[in-house]
Structure 1
Amino acid sequence: MSAYLITSVSVVGGPPTDLLIRDGVVAEVGAGLSAPDATVVDGTGLVALPGLVDLHTHLREPGREDAETVESGSRAAAMGGYTAVCAMANTSPVADTAGVVEQVWRLGREAGLVDVQPIGAVTVGLAGERLAELGAMADSAARVRIFSDDGHCVADPLLMRRALEYVKAFDGIIAQHAEEPRLTEGAQMHEGEVSTRLGLIGWPAVAEEAIIARDVLLTEHVGSRLHVCHVSTAGSVEVLRQAKARGVRVTAEVTPHHLLLTDERAESYDPVFKVNPPLRTAADIAALRAALADGVIDVIATDHAPHAVEDKECEWAYARPGMLGLETALSIALDVLGPEWDLIAERMSRTPARIAGLTGHGIDPAPGVPANLTLIDPAAHRTIEPAELASRSRNTPYARMTLPGRIVATFLRGEPTVLDGKAIK
């Protein structure tokens, strides 16, 4: 295997040091290292973070390869500083059997750009009527541990209870898309002042909060593990805060776009800003940022949702909800949190790796540790040009925005997937 010597780099915001990567691991850390056989990477001014881990990625394959493939999504992830992603189950066919999750897992291994960990569906076909093959997916080569019907809520409380009970046997997790469907029929955006002014049917905050409250109680009763996808409201934060204070085994994620963009973006009627759950208010953003800082929200997850042109460049009412996120998430985190490197590492690498059970990921660079890491230049700024993204889709809400930070390199088990800001393959 190749050897790399990264010189004068700040490890998670610490003082400059050198990192020697050899045989897939960090071999040495210290000032003044020398390795004549190693490729030298100048780390002056750069920050080394443990490779980012995304708990919520849509790779679209199988079924919608026009929007994304496992390979193209993996490349986008690597360009964003990620070394592992969890692929959601809403593919076609749905990842509700051992065969489909193994297919996604193998495609990830073949691409070799990030570790792709499939998420299995909770219910057959995401229909919310009967449980999918949870045990078979858990026992498959993909070793599925997280199950989600994301894009659909597991609305039936009895079915949700049974799912929580089933996965408890192997310490699995149910990741819920919290949306009471009867309260969001026909909804087009956040219910509030802006939706009233625009004449669009609103998606009320209580539709999210009611499901989270119900599922927290079910999780507490069963003694299982719950993960709440893409939390978006101040009320949801308070439900989670109370649950964690009682010791309920619940974790939660927030997306970069819910930390930055408000429902006022809908005034443009540009479908790129249509997402589920919808963009909320400035007050919600303030609550989400505070919850991320104090640990009520555990993780920043992208909800990377690529869509083909025809699914986005149409009238708002007919557009599919979703935004790209993998290639811009670290920049948004830096913009929102500032150079709080330990907090960024915790919310974007260590904690998501721990939740997903991804050994070898989410570990700060140190001697003997697998060399899964990313190098970012925090002083750089870049203007987002959709045509330059690695994703097959172009539905980024940050088009032509100038964001802080630039990924210089990403290493997966000691081999670069990105070097000098460019994808290796």
Structure 2
Amino acid sequence: MKYLIRNASVLGENTTDVLIEDGLIARIQDGIDAADAHIIEAAGQVLLPGLVDPHTHLREPGREDAETVETGTRAAAKGGYTAVHAMANSTPVADTAGVVEQVYELGRRAGWVDVRPVGAVTVGLAGKQLSEIGAMADSRAAVKMFSDDGICVWDPLLMRRALEYVKAFDGVIAQHAQEPRLTEGAQMNEGEVSAVLGLGGWPAVAEESIIARDVLLAEHVGARLHICHVSTAGSVEIIRWAKARGIQVTAEVTPHHLILTDELVRSYDPVYKVNPPLRRAEDVTALRAAVADGTIDVIGTDHAPHTAETKDCEWGAAAMGMTGLETALSIVQHTLVETGLLTWADVARITSSAPAAIGRLADQGRPIAVGEPANLTLVDPAARWIVDPYAMETKGRNSPFAGMELPGQVTATFFHGHPTVLDGALATPRNGQ
């Protein structure tokens, strides 16, 4: 099947036609005549490379009540994604070749996006023994990214060994930076609001101290380090220093940390309970500036769906996490594009090419050029929509943006030339991957 996208603004710049054929971008020029193609009128819309999420929780295997690979990847496609990295904290943990191959196969069969499993750094996320890192790297899933996300690899010797191990095959360790002794009993950001509410404080230094340690370990080993969900201004300064020093470190920020602050916790609504916690307005400003100047490399959704039983309860008992796949691009537009901090070409970098490079995904995040795989996202920046968690594809209803009007709507997503989203609605999965 051929698809002709007419009058799209490629990366928000030149307006032209794009012909998709046999899974590839076949032609890019004005006035393409393709009578046998399905035509998509895209005047006023921006064409981006398919989005790549370096940080997604799909919950399967084990927590299918909260999310499945099928529902999570449907949500990803609806949000404009063509690839996601599935975090390892499933049940059982993705710490063996068998489990990562299971997740990979579930993604392949679903056919909505490319699912790249993230392997656990340690067995059972227990922080005591390295997992089957080499076996996962050599498996059909070809794992390149390893993380105990949700739990920090707190032992410096174990972290050093992990960095040494993945260096041999150009892998990367994605660290959840949280010093456990400094966050015992923590419920929210440590500061004025936590003091008023009487909730256990989560100090910024708990994140910053681990990042400082790990960039030095990465320098010592000469390995790649990725910092998950950066949330403080101090973390930004450490990463900026490390990059200036030539250390191989990359960093991500979530959409919710670019817009929400700890002031929202005054409501005691557990939808705002997340790890790392929502921080101060000053941190939000620093994070936006860090994305704009390149200190923070990518947007990672940290999509974390939960059941109503584990989220809709009193604050202290509620699970930490927010959904994000279907709202991420809108939040990026609102916080970074409409504020003048980024162009749409910059958005393509932070949501597609850079995360694909970190995960070493060869056919994702590619330029919009003739002969390249047709992994593409078409977004209408002028559209406005009201977030309704019950209308989303994800099983999780724990969106912090419920009821908000957001800008920008994905109107089409192409996964290797196959439309998974058309006219703003979910279409069909790609079969025969």
How much is the aligned-residue C-alpha RMSD, in angstroms?
Answer: 0.6
Aligned runs of 1:123-142 on 2, under 5 Å? 123-142=122-141
Aligned to 2:9: 10
Aligned to 1:380: 383
Aligned to 2:422: 419
Q: Which runs of 4+ in 1 moved over 6 A?
A: none
**Would you say 1:223 and 2:222 are equivalent positions?**
yes
Aligned to 2:231: 232
Shift of 1:15: 2.3
Give distance in 2, aligned partners of 1:365 and 1:165: 35
TM-score (norm 2): 0.97
Give distance in 2, aligned partners of 1:254 and 1:334: 14
Aligned residue pair count: 424
Shift of 1:14: 1.4
Q: Give secondary structure in 2 for the equivalent of 1:65.
A: coil
Deviations 1:120-152 (CA, angstroms, capped at 9, x unpaired):
000000000000000000000000000000000
Aligned runs of 1:18-417 on 2, under 5 Å? 18-338=17-337, 340-417=343-420
Shift of 1:36: 1.2
Shift of 1:156: 0.4
Q: Give secondary structure in 1 for the equivalent of 2:151.
A: coil
Give distance in 1, aligned partners of 2:367 and 2:28: 11
Q: Which runs of 5+ in 2 are unaligned?
A: 429-433
Deviations 1:222-276 (CA, angstroms, capped at 9, x unpaired):
1011000000000000000100000000000000000000000100000000000
Which amino acid is the alignment partner of residue 419 of structure 1?
Answer: L
Give distance in 2, aligned partners of 1:326 and 1:309: 18
Percent identity of paired positions between Structure 1 and Structure 2: 67
Give distance in 2, aligned partners of 1:405 and 1:168: 39
Give distance in 2, aligned partners of 1:338 and 1:235: 24
TM-score (norm 1): 0.99
Give distance in 2, aligned partners of 1:15 and 1:117: 32
Shift of 1:28: 0.2
Worse-matched range after superposition: 264-273 or 357-366: 357-366
Deviations 1:37-93 (CA, angstroms, capped at 9, x unpaired):
100000111100000000000000000001100010000000000000000000000
Give distance in 2, aligned partners of 1:121 and 1:36: 50
Give distance in 1, aligned partners of 2:378 and 2:288: 24
Give distance in 1, aligned partners of 2:14 and 2:220: 47
Shift of 1:364: 2.6
Which amino acid is the alignment partner of residue 406 of structure 1?
Answer: Q
Give distance in 2, aligned partners of 1:11 and 1:280: 35
Give distance in 1, aligned partners of 2:396 and 2:207: 28
Q: Which runs of 5+ in 1 are unaligned?
A: none
Q: Give secondary structure in 1 for the equivalent of 2:39.
A: strand
Q: Give secondary structure in 1 for the equivalent of 2:242.
A: helix
